Every structure is written in structure tokens, then in C-alpha cells.
Structure 1
Amino acid sequence: MNKLLKTIPQDDEYYMPGELEPHQGCWMVFPERIDNWRKNAEPAQIVYAKVANTIDFLRYTFLLLKYYYKI
């Protein structure tokens, strides 16, 4: 979607649910920038993998990687 919207998320009924609210899925952005994370991001990647495996009971869990997207 590459168009500028003239509304704010709240007007379109988007909101960030609290972590204890019921929800169907989760979006995670994988820590892959080695300049932003210590030890080439490896400790953060291990923890993210543990979190993703812990929340696998959710219907959808999306793990985003920069490699798959044009930026």
C-alpha cells in the first residue's frame, strides 16, 4: 500500500491492544541489524526465537525480516 491516507488510525478503528487483551496474532520484527544490537544481534535473536516459540499458541505469528522487503 503506497498511498497517503488522510485519516488517523483511530478514525479507522485501529488500536494497539493491551498484551492481556484477547487477540488472534502477533507481529514481531526480527532483530537483524548488527549495528543496533550487541554481539551481532545473536543474543537478541535467540530471545526472539524463544518468544516466538512461546506464543505459538496464537493463530498467527508473523516474524518480519528485512531480506523479504524492498526498503
Structure 2
Amino acid sequence: MRHLATRGLSRHRSPAGADTSRAGLPSDYFDRAADVLADLLPHARRRTLDGPDRVVDPHILVPLLLRFFSGAH
């Protein structure tokens, strides 16, 4: 595995637990991107699940994935 050189780069420090992965992006960036993809991809539907942004309860997600992969969507 190759490692990228980081010499001379300052590291961004953030408060513990802060999510810096979306720094500088509009708050609705991913919502708009999902809408665009759903409009462009044939037979696509966008579903929004209740709960946290990143870790969805498996009891909610598994039935949806089973339906999707079985072609019953």
C-alpha cells in the first residue's frame, strides 16, 4: 500500500466528535445529489429513512434491501 506524503500540510483539528467530512458543503448537498441521481437513473426511486444520517437500524434497512434485490421494488 502506498502512503501519500503529508509533509508541509497542516491537519485540521476539530472538536471531538465533529463531522468535518461535509465542511464547506451546503446543508442540502447530498439530498440534491440523491434527487438528481434518482431522476437520471432508469427505474430509480429515492427513499429517505428515518433515523441517524449514517447508521440505519438494520431492522429498517434489511427489509428494504431484500425487496430491492429480489426485484419486488
Q: Does the pair score TM above 0.5?
A: no
* TM superposition score normalised by structure 1: 0.29
Structure with higher Rg: it is: 2
More strand by share: 1
* TM superposition score normalised by structure 2: 0.29
Larger RCO: Structure 1 or Structure 2 (Cα < 8 Å, ≥ 6 residues apart)?
1
